[in-house]
């Protein structure tokens, strides 16, 4: 107990800094994914994406970011093995935050869209397996997360493929695409409202005491989708056909789909903030709980509002200052996106999150978005994909877990050497 008594305040201040650094990385990499499709499709500008994120990501993180959240609670580490030496858990969580934040900074610098969830999980697995014991890690849970590398992008890619094919069939391949778009897009607007509200209700609202069942979420989401649909129809009525010429007609149609992407960008930002902020501040909440309790290691760590504020601020700062690199990769370098194709990719990603939530499958927002963009590209033909960029992204996914683990092991032993044990 001596370490926490002597250095408790110092350790907490360092963890706060590392937590903000990790939140900054989440904003620069993960939030940029959510905004990248809308920016790449030219539905919104980078400045507008940052403004949307400032409002909706922060609101999602602060208002619905989590009553109780910690990485221990997710079952990665057995807390019973740490009760006798709580300082090791503090060092481990500090190392995990610093390691994951460092890896996200490296990945973002190169424009690699990687999973923030896998970054922090890899870091925790690293310090726990080497710093404590191999038995301390729930390897079945880690295996499930690794399996999601394949499941989430394939599912999102399949959904986006068929969504975009439906757009081509129901709109672009008709006798009068503009009239068809006016008739069909309200249905897509309803889908966007329904799926995005499901993401928020299933993944986010339970953190503010509204623990809705899946059936309740379905009912409420239907009402929300109806309201969104009415709002979207009102916006669509303002867009007039510029010219019947083919090139001008396509521009008018894409402006109609741009309305969809505006709704999607706002709602996805809120849902992402309410869900993924835990990756940055969950370990901070755990450390704060241990230090405040005098060394008690508990399964659940209560989330103070100041930690949610810190996470929200870090996310917004990361996107504003460095998010353009990953947005460029997602939005322009995998395949050329338009509002009609970008909408399909983003809605597919959101649909995948909802389906995974219903079946409690661990997936990555990053992987689903990349999968959605790949599905749209395949719908246009293999030639539409930049296979070199795709290969680089896949390689960065494979490296994420071990990179986080190795960095966390190094940082864990550095903190242990500096502050000692006992």
110-134 tens-digit pLDDT: 888 888 888 888 898 888 888 777 8
Q: Is the pLDDT of residue 380 over 80?
A: yes
Q: Is the pLDDT of residue 66 over 60?
A: no
Q: Is the pLDDT of residue 204 over 70?
A: no
Q: Is the pLDDT of residue 71 over 50?
A: no
Q: What is the pLDDT of residue 206?
A: 59
Q: Is the pLDDT of residue 1 over 60?
A: no
Q: Which residue has the tokens 């969809």?
A: 260
Q: To the nearest whole number, what is the mean pLDDT of the chain?
A: 80
Higher pLDDT, 11 or 149: 11
Can you tell me whether residue 361 is helix, strand or coil? coil
Q: Is the pLDDT of residue 68 over 50?
A: no
Higher pLDDT, 25 or 64: 25
Mean pLDDT across the stretch 201-218? 70
In degrees and rounded to multiples of 5, residue 8 shows phi and psi of: -50, -50
Helix (H) or strand (E) holding 31: none
Lowest mean pLDDT among 30-34, 343-347, 411-415: 30-34
Cβ neighbours for 57, distance < 8 A, ≥ 6 positions apart: 27, 31, 269, 270, 272, 273, 312, 315, 316, 319
Side-chain half-sphere exposure of 52, counting CA atoms within 13 A: 26
pLDDT band at residue 413 using 50, 70 and 90 as cut-offs: very high
How far apart CA 196 and CA 265 sit, in angstroms, is 10
Q: What is the DSSP string of 221-266?
A: HHHHHHHHHHHHHHHHTT-----SSHHHHHHHHHHHHHHHHHHHHH
pLDDT band at residue 259 using 50, 70 and 90 as cut-offs: confident
Q: Which residue has the tokens 């338009």?
A: 338
Higher pLDDT, 415 or 276: 415
382 alpha carbon, distance to own chain's centre: 27
Q: What is the pLDDT of residue 223?
A: 93
The answer to whether 204 and 271 have CB atoms below 8 angstroms apart is: yes
Mean pLDDT across the stretch 159-164? 91
Q: What is the pLDDT of residue 362?
A: 60
Mean pLDDT across the stretch 367-374? 85
Q: What is the pLDDT of residue 74?
A: 52
Mean pLDDT across the stretch 194-208? 68
pLDDT band at residue 47 using 50, 70 and 90 as cut-offs: confident
How far apart CA 351 and CA 85 sit, in angstroms, is 43
Q: What is the pLDDT of residue 13?
A: 93
pLDDT band at residue 415 using 50, 70 and 90 as cut-offs: very high
How far apart CA 343 and CA 366 sit, in angstroms, is 16
Best CA proximity match to 267, nearest among 305, 231, 219, 318: 231
The answer to whether 371 and 154 have CB atoms below 8 angstroms apart is: yes
Mean pLDDT across the stretch 329-356? 78
| Residue 320: both structure tokens together | 């504003």
Q: Is the pLDDT of residue 241 over 50?
A: yes
Higher pLDDT, 186 or 137: 186
Q: Could you read off the pLDDT of 79-111 as tens digits, one per residue?
A: 666 667 788 888 988 999 999 999 999 988 888
Best CA proximity match to 96, nearest among 274, 278, 272: 278
The answer to whether 362 and 143 have CB atoms below 8 angstroms apart is: no
How far apart CA 41 and CA 202 sit, in angstroms, is 28
Q: Could you read off the pLDDT of 212-229 as tens digits, one per residue?
A: 787 888 898 899 999 989
Percent pLDDT > 70 in the chain is 85
Best CA proximity match to 355, nearest among 193, 166, 159: 159
| Residue 152: both structure tokens together | 């989430």
Span between the terminal Cα atoms of the chain, in Å:
6
The answer to whether 45 and 135 have CB atoms below 8 angstroms apart is: no
Helices (H) and strands (E) in the chain — how many of each? 15, 0
Q: What is the pLDDT of residue 293?
A: 76
Number of CB atoms found within 10 A of residue 268's CB: 34
Q: Could you read off the pLDDT of 275-312 as tens digits, one per residue?
A: 677 777 878 888 888 888 777 766 555 567 788 788 88
Q: What is the pLDDT of residue 357?
A: 64
Can you tell me whether residue 140 is helix, strand or coil? helix
For the chain, what's the residue count?
A: 422
Burial class (CB in 10 A: 0-12, 13-18, 19+), 227: exposed
Output Rg (C-alpha) for the chain, integer angstroms.
Answer: 22
Q: What is the pLDDT of residue 246?
A: 59
Q: What is the pLDDT of residue 64?
A: 59
pLDDT band at residue 170 using 50, 70 and 90 as cut-offs: very high
Can you tell me whether residue 166 is helix, strand or coil? helix
Q: Is the pLDDT of residue 351 over 50?
A: yes
How far apart CA 203 and CA 51 sit, in angstroms, is 23
Number of CB atoms found within 10 A of residue 421's CB: 10
pLDDT band at residue 410 using 50, 70 and 90 as cut-offs: very high
String of b and e for 385-400 (b: at least 16 CB within 10 Å)? bbeebbebbeebbebb
Mean pLDDT across the stretch 15-42? 84
388 alpha carbon, distance to own chain's centre: 24
Mean pLDDT across the stretch 8-25? 92
Burial class (CB in 10 A: 0-12, 13-18, 19+), 3: buried
């Amino acid at each position: 107990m001596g370490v926490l008594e002597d250095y408790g305040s110092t350790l907490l201040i360092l963890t706060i800094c590392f937590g903000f650094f990790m939140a900054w990385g989440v904003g620069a990499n993960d939030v940029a994914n959510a905004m990248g499709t809308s920016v790449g499709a030219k539905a919104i500008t980078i400045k507008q994406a940052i403004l949307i994120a400032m409002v909706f990501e922060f609101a999602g993180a602060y208002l619905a970011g989590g009553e109780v959240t910690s990485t221990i609670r997710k079952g990665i580490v057995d807390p019973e093995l740490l009760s006798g030496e709580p300082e090791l858990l503090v060092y481990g969580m500090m190392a995990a935050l610093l390691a994951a934040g460092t890896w996200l900074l490296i990945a973002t610098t190169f424009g690699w869209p990687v999973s923030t969830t896998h970054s922090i999980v890899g870091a925790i697995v690293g310090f726990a397996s080497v710093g404590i014991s191999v038995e301390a890690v729930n390897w079945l849970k880690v295996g499930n997360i690794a399996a999601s590398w394949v499941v989430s992008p394939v599912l999102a890619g399949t959904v986006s493929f068929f969504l975009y094919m439906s757009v081509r069939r129901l709109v672009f391949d008709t006798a009068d695409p503009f009239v068809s778009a006016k008739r069909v897009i309200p249905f897509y607007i309803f889908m966007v409202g329904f799926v995005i509200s499901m993401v928020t209700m299933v993944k986010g609202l339970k953190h503010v005491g509204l623990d809705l069942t899946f059936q309740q979420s379905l009912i409420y989401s239907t009402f929300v989708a109806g309201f969104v649909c009415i709002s979207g129809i009102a916006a669509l009525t303002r867009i007039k056909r510029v010219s019947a010429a083919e090139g001008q007609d396509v521009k008018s149609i894409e402006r109609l789909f741009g309305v969809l992407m505006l709704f999607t960008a706002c709602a996805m930002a809120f849902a992402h903030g309410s869900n993924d902020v835990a990756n940055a501040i969950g370990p901070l909440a755990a450390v704060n709980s241990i230090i405040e309790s005098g060394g008690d290691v508990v399964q659940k760590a209560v989330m103070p509002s100041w930690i949610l504020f810190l996470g929200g601020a870090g996310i917004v700062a990361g996107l504003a200052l460095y998010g353009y690199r990953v947005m460029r990769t997602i939005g322009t370098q995998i395949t050329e996106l338009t509002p009609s194709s970008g909408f399909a990719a983003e809605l597919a990603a959101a649909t995948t999150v909802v389906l995974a939530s219903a079946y409690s499958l661990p997936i990555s927002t990053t992987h689903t978005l990349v999968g959605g963009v790949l599905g749209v590209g395949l719908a246009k033909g293999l030639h539409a994909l930049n296979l070199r960029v795709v290969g680089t992204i896949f390689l960065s996914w494979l490296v994420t877990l071990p990179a986080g683990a190795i960095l966390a092991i190094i940082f864990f032993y550095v903190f242990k050497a500096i502050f000692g044990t006992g």
